Amino acid sequence: MISSSLRNRLLSLLALTLFGCASLAFAENPFIGRWALTIPGGAAGWLGVENKDGQLAASILWGGGSVVPVQGVKVDGEVLKVTRISKPKNAKTQAADEVTETISATLDGDTMKLSTVKTKADGKEFGKAEFAGHRIPPVPPAPDLSKVKFGEPITLFNGKDLTGWELINPKADNGWSVADGLLLNRVEKGKHFGNLRTVQEFEDFNITLETRTQKESNSGIYLRGIYEIQVAETYGKPLDPHNMGALYSRITPTVAAEKPIGEWQTFDITLVDRHVTVILNGQKIIDNQPVLGCTGGAMTSDEMKPGPIYLQGDHTNIDYRNIVLRPVVK
């Protein structure tokens, strides 16, 4: 007969062995990591897979909007299966119809091949599509910003006209104009207004500018066309990753530094080695924090390439002035 103490030791050893096997399985899971996606239609997307509290978990960015958790994720053989559930409103009945989307992914090294299919509550499938992704390299260590060298300042907005700027979509309605030295965006209901980008593209840099929100303003400053620093009328609201100065849906400001509507507000933003620092109205609200992927509305999910500064203009009215960029000298 096995003594109780020996039995307990054996049970402990078995538990440790099983835990070790589970940990090893997670460690060897090739899907764990961050993935840059080009989703159906060509928009930028992102998928993050991780071991969270001993369970597989995932979050996804699907074109616009926020990074959100998925409803299910598992590995079936050599296939990653991700489940998303949505409840879009039926145009005829106005009722919420549940739709389950299943995304399947396989790997070839650091390249991901994906397919998607949506299923209605009655079992009917639709929306089948194939798309691709690639593994995002690890974020490097936080840079020592005191040792970073910046080049001569580049005035991106001359205060006279839109020289050096263009619509991302030339077919969109143009709400951008220049008056009294200000860059203005004015939109109208029922029209699709465009986002404005610099013709010139950049890698790492520091950019300073001033902005003035209007009633319910919702705009954004996209760094390299990939990462959105939120510009919104959020004065007096509690901290949130969608508020003024946030890295949209990814990094929440540490302090609410917004000014009331109609006042000019200053931004001082530094992007170096995929780390971002944001100073809003003289207060540091994001301090050299790593950026884990693109944000909603990004022009591309490829974080390794240079890109423009782009100002979101497809939502509401907004004003900008004194836009100056200093590129990092490498």
Rounded distance between C-alpha atoms, residue 262 and residue 212, angstroms = 6
Give pLDDT, residue 2.
52
| Bridge partners, 86 (sequence order) | 99
Q: Length of the chain, please?
A: 330
DSSP string, 225-267: TTEEEEEE--TTPPP-TTSTTSBTTTB--SS-----TTSEEEE
Q: Is 77 helix (H, G, I), strand (E, B) or coil?
A: coil
Average pLDDT for 313-322 = 95
Pick from 248, 201, 255: which is nearest to 221 by CA? 248
Q: How confident is the model at residue 7 (pLDDT cuts 50, 70, 90)?
A: very low
Read off the pLDDT of residues 24-69 as tens digits, 9 standing for 90 and up. Answer: 344 589 999 999 999 999 999 999 999 999 999 999 999 999 999 9
Give pLDDT, residue 89.
74
Return phi, psi of residue 26, to 5°. Answer: -65, -40
Which residues, other chains included, contact 53 with Cβ-Cβ below 8 Å and sequence gap of 6+? none
Return phi, psi of residue 105, to 5°. Answer: -135, 140
**Against a cut of 0.85, is the pTM above it?**
yes
Continuous segment of H or E residues that includes residue 13: helix 4-28
Give pLDDT, residue 27.
56
Rounded distance between C-alpha atoms, residue 129 and residue 150, angstroms = 44
Pick left, alpha or beta for residue 77 (phi over 0 → left; psi -120 to 50 → alpha; otherwise beta). Answer: left
